[in-house]
Amino acid sequence: MSWLPEDFVHPVHVPVPDTSLHLRPIREADTPLDYPAVMGSRARLWEVFGPAWSWPKESMTYEEDRIDLLRHEQEIAAHQSFNYALWDAAETALLGCVYIDPPERTGSDVDVAWWVVDELVGSGAERALDALVPQWIDADWPFRQPRYPGRDLSWQDWLALPRVP
């Protein structure tokens, strides 16, 4: 059985309510804005994602980020996993990302994680994204058992779960 129904069409533009922000699938061409967003928030992102994903490394180069975004773009096109960038209205600032991935660990049919740049931590924009993501997954995606590592269970507890065979 495939991870997603064959006829599933993924969203391409998702407004974040009560903000001027929106989500859209990330592309390799976004590297010039993604790299400074990631590296500008790297220390906090490593605290969140480092133990599970080994990302983002302190030594990550622009080229490594470009290759990573190309991989994400290809995975989105193949419906293997999804990375949505959080954008300002004009798409002049990448402000975070939402990851929608097939589960690596048992107990769910999707793992969803997200982050915002350091400047948005604790802001209304972060609260709006936090409220949107679970609602969006429930409304627009075909999953029955979404899991939100780092939110509905700790990353440590997620890592302790058995791997999907």
Q: Report which secondary-structure segment, H or E, holds 100.
A: strand 94-101
Token couple for 105: 């660990």
Whether 2 is in a domain gets the answer no
Could you give phi then psi for residue 151, rounded to 5 degrees? -130, -60
> Whole-structure pTM over 0.85, yes or no?
yes
- What is the count of structural domains for the chain? 1
Whether 82 is in a domain gets the answer yes
pLDDT tens-place string over residues 37-80? 999 999 999 999 999 999 999 999 999 999 999 999 999 999 99
Write the CATH number for 132: 3.40.630.30
Whether 5 is in a domain gets the answer no
Neighbours of 131 (CB within 10 A): 13
Dihedral angle computed from the Cα positions of residues 151, 153, 157 and 161, in that order, rounded to the nearest 10 degrees: -110
Q: What is the pLDDT of residue 1?
A: 45
pLDDT tens-place string over residues 102-141? 999 999 999 999 999 999 999 999 999 999 999 999 999 9
Domain that holds residue 133: 14-155
Whether 164 is in a domain gets the answer no
Whether 4 is in a domain gets the answer no
Whether 55 is in a domain gets the answer yes
